[in-house]
Amino acid sequence: MTELEIKEQENKKLLEALSHLEEVNDPIDDSLYKQFDVKRGLRYADGRGVLVGLTRIGDVVGYELDSEGKKVAVPGKLIYRGYNIEDIVKDCVAHNQFGFEQCVYLLLFGELPTHSQLKRFTEFLGEYRGLPENFTEDMIMKAPSCNIMNKIARGVLASYSYDENPEDRSIQNILRQCLELISRFSTLAAYGYQAKRRYFDGKSLYIHNPKPELSTAENFLRLIRSDKSYTRLEAEILDLALVLHAEHGGGNNSSLTVHVVSSADTDTYSAIAAAVGSLKGHRHGGANIRVIEMMDDIKANVKDWSNETEVADYLRKIATKQAFDHTGLIYGLGHAVYTISDPRAILLRNKAKELAEEKGCMEEFNLYTLIERIAPNILYELHGDGKRICTNVDFYSGFVYSMLNIPRELFTPLFAIARIAGWSAHRIEEIVAGGRIYRPAYKNVSGEREYIPIDDRVECEDNRCTPKKSDEVATSGPSD
């Protein structure tokens, strides 16, 4: 064994020992959260979010409060600047228009654009879809990533260096930065994917130039496909997915991240990169991949996809931790706000049927709708907690992307391509209307200890000593 290998082994043992210290020191008794009335996850015990801000950008409606302050479930609604998302989608369909660019305009400026305003705005976005000179070679190809979300975050931060005025906090400059990022997100994701294909998967590399006259959905399909081709229906359903993911209120984790980081008076690129990191999380933007993996498992273990009894029996195995990943979760069901219905799931399901008919995937589509119908009842029967749940947008989005032959590593980046619209609106709102840095309180529940001089400290074998903990719990309020 070489000297370097011996050193690496020693370092590994040290990390294991230090990790042990972390594990024994960091856990906090669950009873303390109740004792100090901590709103874990910024939520009340009934699941309602703690009110930490005001917004004019969007609203997520899944319940109302009765005269006693109790939650009463209502059919879900998603509101952009006061307009119901169903009306926005309906109007786009009636006029045979792509809707994402119109939603970007609405979210940023608070008003629906006229024909001429939308035309000029779409042209403006199209002009900035290309990346700065040498950006693709220096920032993407020379440092490829196995995860496209990390590549996008790096691309956002690198954009600071290509901006001649990155620190200007004027609204006009921040708006300019946000619009450029909105325009380029699809290109960053597509080129990041191509670099990943080449350097991690050993496949061919295709770098196509975006076309300014095309919509965001059209350009994305063009950039990820070797032949640059797509059908109108494919572009329409991807555009719909972007519309439905563009905004979801200020309380979702990544939008809250934008507010928190922006409140510190940092630059636009730092705030948006932080949001990308939040969205990457499996509890946030990565959920539709888990749905697809679960559906793969169901399709492999259920012989007759149309047999309701057979499908239900397997869902019960999943829900009782006997199958799939043994978590007991049926992915794609349940939401923090929606209970009766998720309007995004309904709109996407209806459009998915059109694509399934075109792609010859109706058997699989029928399996999805069967699970959507019976899974909530199965969970209710098993848990009986009085709360019925519905399918959420993640249940169908992964299926749609799969029918579009979009690789799974691009599922979460697609979420980011859409949500950069909402993030930008929240970034500007925080600058205009916030004005105060976020500083919630954390209760210290560790008692004060007598200091031990370094000469008197005892090192246990392999550093695996468990520090003596005080039985005393701090009861004074936060000092900061």
Q: Render pLDDT for 196-218 as a digit per residue (tens, 0 to 9).
A: 999 999 999 999 999 999 999 99
Rg (CA), the chain: 25
**pTM for this entry:** 0.91
In tens, the pLDDT along 266-311 reads 999 999 999 999 999 988 998 899 999 999 999 999 999 999 999 9
CB burial of residue 328 (10 Å; 0-12, 13-18, 19+):
middle
- Tell whether the model's pLDDT for residue 234 goes beyond 70: yes
What is the reported pLDDT for 468? 47
- Look-up of token digits 């856990």: 27
Q: What was the pLDDT predicted at 92?
A: 97
The length of the chain is 480
Express each pLDDT in 25-72 by its tens digit: 778 888 999 999 999 999 988 888 999 999 999 999 999 988 888 889
* Model pLDDT for residues 89-120, shown as the tens digit of each residue: 999 999 999 999 999 999 999 999 999 999 99
* Alpha carbons within 13 A on the beta-carbon side of 447: 9
- 323: tokens are 């199958």
- Closest CA relative to residue 341, chosen from 315, 311, 308, 376: 376
How many angstroms separate the CA atoms of 27 and 233, rounded?
51
Residue with the larger pLDDT of the pair 470 and 235: 235
pLDDT of 373-401, one tens digit each?
Answer: 999 999 999 987 667 789 999 999 999 99
CB atoms within 10 A of CB 43: 13
Of the candidates 217, 225, 221, the one whose C-alpha atom is nearest the C-alpha of residue 242 is 217
To the nearest whole number, what is the mean pLDDT of the chain?
A: 93
The yes-or-no verdict on residue 464 having pLDDT over 60 is no
Lowest pLDDT segment from 185-189, 237-241, 331-335: 331-335
Q: β-pairing, 58-65 with 71-80?
A: antiparallel
| CA–CA separation, 243 and 308 (whole Å) | 33
Neighbouring residues of 37: CB distance < 8 A, sequence distance ≥ 6: none
Pairing of strands 58-65, 83-84: unpaired
For the beta carbon of residue 301, count every other beta carbon within 10 angstroms: 13
Q: Is the pLDDT of residue 158 over 50?
A: yes
- What pLDDT band is residue 14 in, cutting at 50, 70 and 90? confident
In the predicted model, is pLDDT for residue 479 greater than 80?
no
**SS3 at position 288:** helix
